[in-house]
Structure 1
Amino acid sequence: MSIHYPRLTQKSRRLLDQITLNHGPREKLGHFFLAADKAARDRGITLTLSTDFELLREVNKMNLKHWHGLAPSFDAAYGGIDGSCGYWIMGHNAAGEIVSTQAAHFYDMATETVGDYLRSLRLFYPHPETQKRSGESCNVSSPNADKINGRVVFSGSTWIHPDYRGRDLPKILPRISRALALTRWDTDYTISLVSMALVEKGVAKAYGYQRIEPGVEWLGSAVSDRYLGALVWMPRAELLQDVDRFESEVGHREHAPANAQDVVRHAPAAN
């Protein structure tokens, strides 16, 4: 394989040691994180939480043969994402090679909507008026784009090295990211954009999304001259139901401790 940690010289921390349960049902989420982390390890991958978005850029650049360019929403070069509003989950093998990524970017949209953020390009750039490319635009006709607002996380940059595909990782990584965003930022919705080519292959459903709405046309971006995709989204209640389905969809879970929330750090109740 040709991918390695570009700059990490110390042993990475394990994902479970990095999670603090701030929001959401602690017992349910604690059991889920234990099961999901084990599912990844059973497939030869150790997960680590990172806010080093320069490293994510480097991993992306080294793997453009089987990964499109990094979306601006997750690209530190645009200045819109850092540890206060984002993270990414790296997966590495026993040799220390990075073989998977999954990122998240949190937006407090208040009364504005995902449709507003897409059409104005603010979902992609912190300052679209000066950062967008000449002629770049986004047309949106997805039915619920103008209804989704509040505390929203954009889940994306899902990438798996070809040698590690076919191991159900698309069923594991996005679910971890959604649940982590919920407990970190108390999210109302998770959204993502999935190209129509991948929707037709069933990738959006593999990610766990049931609400798949074609109607996003992103023109003239650095990612693609003409991106045709679907807005996929999940409200908080469905996210928690999806967590419950994890065991049956990904595989049997070994018995977890009765107080699973104690295995993952949790914030005081007053928080």
Structure 2
Amino acid sequence: MMVPDQDEQATLEVTAAIAAITAKVEQGGLSLKESADFGQFEDIVRATEDKYLMEDFSPRFFDLHGATAFWVGAYNGHGNLVSVQAAKVEDLKDRSLAEHWQQQQRRMFVDPNPQARFGTEHAYDAYFMRGRIVYHGNLWLRRDIRGQGLAEPLTQLGFLLSLLKWSPDYLYGLMAARSAEKGFGIRVGYRRFVPRGTHWERAPGHIRPDDWLVYATRSDLHGLAKLIVRTSGADPE
């Protein structure tokens, strides 16, 4: 009897978990679209009630393409956008996530806002996080579908697509303290929480200074896939 390869089995579990989540979202009356067209992403985000396109996912700051970034939209039966999210991967072999922030956040936020002051006392863990690192963000749900149990599977879908595409060492987000304290992060699949994200001495007006660094390791994400498969009754065999 042939013993299944562990990597292949892990891939089967991730694909089974994605299928289970997709089925759950579709049962909620939504359809899904994945894309790497960030020009279109900017247009659809600007048309939402929040209108907030994160600089990390703006083609004005970054050359975003299918090898390094994607976004997912969820649409209701009328074809209207009700949720969106995005993710991108950075290969940080030569520097830590905190060192990456020092360079990137300054370019995005301080250079256009001379009154802003970026600090140096970032989340402790960020000084040790290196390798292939995914940033997940720009998560938005239209108000009328909030509270219907869709936020969690939609967010998990973004996590597991990132895992399947890039097998990252880490996947992280920056989450408002209130959301982190309420447990949303743990429910969607983040497993590590640091009550400070990026350190601002004086934050730009549209940036929350109280964000937490929330993240998961590759092993955590595989554990999430196993949990989803087990609780959904899906069979990766």
Q: State the TM-score, normalized to the length of structure 1.
A: 0.75
**Aligned position for 1:76:** 59
1:176 paired residue number = 157
1:156 aligns with 2:129: no
Q: Provide Cα deviations, 1:9-55, integer angstroms capped at 9, x if missing partner.
A: xxxxxxxxxxxxx9882211121111011011011111110112122
More strand by share: 1
2:75 to 79, 82, 92: 92
Distance 1:210 1:108 in 2: 21
Query: How many residues of Structure 1 are paired with residues of Structure 2 in the alignment?
Result: 228
Higher helix proportion, which one? Answer: 2
Question: For residue 41 of structure 1, what is the aligned residue in structure 2?
Answer: 26
Which residue among 87, 90, 96 is the counterpart of 1:107?
90
Match of 1:246 among 225, 228, 231: 228
Task: Tell me if the contact between 2:229 and 2:235 (Cα under 8 Å) persists in the aligned partners.
Answer: no
Task: Please give the per-residue CA displacement for 1:103-142, whole angstroms capped at 9, x wherever unaligned.
Answer: 001100113111112222x1x57x5599542243443432
Find 2:128's aligned residue among 141, 147, 163.
147
Deviates more, 1:131-140 or 1:181-190: 131-140
1:81 corresponds to which letter in structure 2?
L
Q: 2:182 maps to which residue?
A: 201
- The answer on whether the counterparts of 2:135 and 2:172 sit within 8 Å (CA) in structure 1 is yes
With over 3 angstroms needed to count, the CA separation of the structure-2 counterparts of 1:254 and 1:128, relative to structure 1, is closer
SS of 1:167's equivalent? coil
* TM-score (ref. length: structure 2): 0.84
1:221–1:129 Cα change, 3 Å: closer
Measured in 2, the distance between the counterparts of 1:143 and 1:39 equals: 37
- Give unmatched runs, 5+ long, in structure 1: 1-21, 259-271
Aligned to 1:221: 204
Distance 1:196 1:253 in 2: 30
Structure 2 unmatched ranges of 5 or more? 1-6
